[in-house]
Amino acid sequence: MKDILTAPFMVEMIRTTTNMYNHGWDERNGGNISLLLDETEVKEYLDTDHVIRSIPTGFSAPELDGRYFLVTGTGKYFKNVQYAPDVNLGLVRLCDGGETAQLLWGYTDGGKFTSEFPAHMMSHVARLKVDSANRVVMHCHPANLLAMTYVHTLDEREFTRTLWQMCTECIVVFPDGVNVLPWMLCGTNEIGEATAEKMLTARLVVWSLHGIYGAGKDLDETFGLIETAEKAAEIYMKIAHLPRVNTITDDMMHQLEERFGVKGREGYLD
């Protein structure tokens, strides 16, 4: 059996949580990540018959029965993942229709998965319906996106259009735009269901006055997605209070669509 700390998925998870912390997106215990793994890759590192303990999830997700996830722990700091991955991360397999998570590795201090586990698992179900290559759900608290939800309308079309106008490449990176949830109590099945519903039409879901969710095929791509939206929000927060002299017009965005072979969300461009 190979050392799980050398597994590419583990190395990438450690690098990503560290990088996110260094970006200031994950203060204290802020943020969480879940990464869907293939059973064959897990079996290279773990005896999958050896269940350390079983943890009730509090929701059902029959679509994910038997699936493996590497997940950040509740109350744990992204800052510390690199120093003690086995305490701050856990590898679980869902069973009983998603109602139980079998711990196969990690959470060695007796901990468990993130409080946002419902939002993560329900979002995986939603994204897998529209993109079978989806593997990652990522949540964090980037300052400018968060700030923007205090001063910008939460209308999804308007929010998306503003972000697209802030950097030329935005419409290319997230042509499906950004969906927006109003403030809701975090850590609940309700916000999980609402997030998953929004994930059916976009890979980015803003939680107003809280943070953002991103989804993608790997950690690098999902990080880059949030990074791009956050950069756009940063530009917005720099210019929102100033007279706008120039902007990226809808005509320019149509040129980008053609050049890069993408299609902006239906009805979002004039």
Q: List the beta bridge partners of residue 35.
A: 70, 136
Closest CB to ligand 2HA among 48 and 74?
A: 74
- The residue nearest ligand 2HA at its CB is 186
List binders of ligand 2HA among 135-154 (CB under 6 A): 139
Options 16, 32, 123, 228; binder of ligand 2HA; rule CB under 6 A: 32
Residue 58 tokens read as 């509090």
116 is catalytic: yes
Closest CB to Zn ion among 135 and 210?
A: 210
Instruction: Please say whether the dihedral angle defined by the alpha carbons of residues 225, 208, 81 and 9, taken in this order, is positive or negative.
Output: negative
Residue 114 interacting with ligand 2HA (CB under 6 A): yes
Residue 115 interacting with ligand 2HA (CB under 6 A): yes
Residue where the block lists tokens 């939206």: 229
**Cβ atoms 146, 193 nearer than 8 A:** no
Residue where the block lists tokens 């943890």: 55
Residue where the block lists tokens 């998570």: 101
List residues binding Zn ion (CB under 5 A): 211
Residue 31 interacting with ligand 2HA (CB under 6 A): yes
Report the amino acid identity of residue 102. Answer: Q
Say how many residues touch ligand 2HA, by CB under 6 A.
Answer: 9
Among residues 39, 44, 63, 116, which one is catalytic?
116
Q: List the beta bridge partners of residue 36.
A: 69
Closest CB to Zn ion among 186 and 262?
A: 186
Residue 240 interacting with ligand 2HA (CB under 6 A): no
Q: How far is the CB of 90 from ligand 2HA (least distance, A)?
A: 14
Q: How far is the CB of 25 from Zn ion (least distance, A)?
A: 10
Q: What one-character DSSP code corresponds to residue 73?
A: B
**Alpha-carbon dihedral angle through residues 216, 221, 227, 228, given to the nearest 10 degrees:** -90
34 binds, among Zn ion, ligand 2HA, none (CB under 5 to 8 A by kind): none
Closest CB to Zn ion among 211 and 264?
A: 211
**Cβ atoms 71, 36 nearer than 8 A:** no
Local structure of 76: helix, strand or coil: coil
Residue spans of beta strands (DSSP E) within 50-189: 53-56, 68-72, 89-95, 100-106, 136-140, 178-181
Options 16, 17, 29, 195; binder of ligand 2HA; rule CB under 6 A: 29
**Cβ atoms 253, 174 nearer than 8 A:** no
So which residues are the catalytic ones?
A: 116
What is the binding site for ligand 2HA (CB under 6 A)? 29-32, 114-116, 139, 186
